[in-house]
Amino acid sequence: SWVESRLDEGKNVIDGTIKSLEINSGYYVRAYAIYQAAGMEEVGYTASHSIRTNSIENPSLGEVEVPSEKITRNSAELVGKIINNGNGSIIERGFCMSLVTNTYEPTLNNCDLSFKADESFVTVSTGLKYATEYAVRSYVVSEFESKKDTIYNGWRTCFYTKSINPPIFNNINVDE
């Protein structure tokens, strides 16, 4: 559909913007003009021009880091890494987690827990079970020309939450 067009009188120039084209697609475009000639209405066309719309370059993500000193019985700090921003805008960052007993790579559609991250791609996951192994992946939502796509890092990172240490009793005296 034409959003803007302009006919420059006397110079045979037509400017226009075409909207709603598919990403990474080819099109043939030609202009036309309706004019009067010898009392009759005529239509004239330009030659066709081949155009191709831009393609999406998705962001790429590195492996999730889970610093061991930031793991507790019920929480863990998660650190994501964006290697390449791609050619879209990153509008959301986050992590998806599942118990390692699940054999799939966690995604937002199948994970047990998900956490959004701040601009620095760091968050603290809370509500975890103690002495449990989790698998985590990072994700970003990228937007390019009104199309949104969720991109995940390649492989899950696994970690264990800490266990509860039972109290140790020394020198117990029992009186009878």
**pLDDT tens, 77-121?**
999 999 999 988 999 999 999 999 877 889 999 999 999 999 999
The rounded mean pLDDT for the chain is: 86
**pLDDT tens, 1-41?**
454 555 666 666 667 788 778 877 888 888 777 888 788 88
Cβ pair 88, 59 in contact under 8 A: yes
Interval 110-138 mean pLDDT: 94
Q: What is the pTM of this model?
A: 0.68
Query: Which residues have C-beta within 8 Å of that of residue 81, sequence separation ≥ 6?
Result: 61, 62, 63, 64, 65, 121, 138
- Predicted pLDDT at 1: 47
Tokens 């970003």, residue located: 140
